[in-house]
Amino acid sequence: MLIASGIGLELGNTYALLTHSHTPTIAKFIFWLERFAISAHLVEAAIAVYYAHAKDKIPIIYGIYTFFVGTVGLLELFDFDKVLGLKGDELNVEC
């Protein structure tokens, strides 16, 4: 939800630049945070695309999924709970 909002903010900012509209000064900080988050999610998605085939997943689908959910997608891809030797109930997650 937040990444979709960030994309919407970026589209609104692009529209404001194209129409020479004025944006508030506080918006520059918000745009900086949004661009950082989208960049981080893009890197995570690239990692997911690269490793998805080795984990028997469809790379493009898993890359898009990881782009929108972030680190959670990578944790699921690498079965992080199995690496730590944890079970679903120890993570307070129903399997």
Higher pLDDT, 1 or 45: 45
Residue 52 has pLDDT above 80, yes or no: yes
Asked whether residue 30 is assigned to any structural domain, the reply reads yes
How crowded is residue 63: how many other Cβ atoms within 10 Å of its Cβ?
21
Range 72-92 average pLDDT = 71
Examine the pLDDT at 92 and tell me if it is beyond 90. no
Distance CA 45, CA 4 (A): 15
94 is a domain residue: no
Residue 92 inside a domain? The answer is: no
**68: which 2 tokens?**
């929108």
% helix, strand, coil for the chain, step of 5: 75, 0, 25
Q: What is the mean pLDDT of residues 14-34?
A: 88
Answer yes or no: is 90 within a domain. Answer: no
> Which domain covers residue 50, as residue numbers?
2-83
pLDDT for position 26: 84
Q: What is the pLDDT of residue 80?
A: 76
pLDDT of residue 22: 84
- Is 56 a domain residue? yes
- 61 within a domain of the structure (yes/no): yes
Q: How many structural domains are present in the chain?
A: 1
Given a cut of 60, whether residue 95 has pLDDT beyond it is no
Q: Report yes or no on 93 lying in a domain.
A: no
Which of 90, 39, 42 shows the shortest CA–CA distance to 66?
42
- Average pLDDT score over residue span 11-21: 91
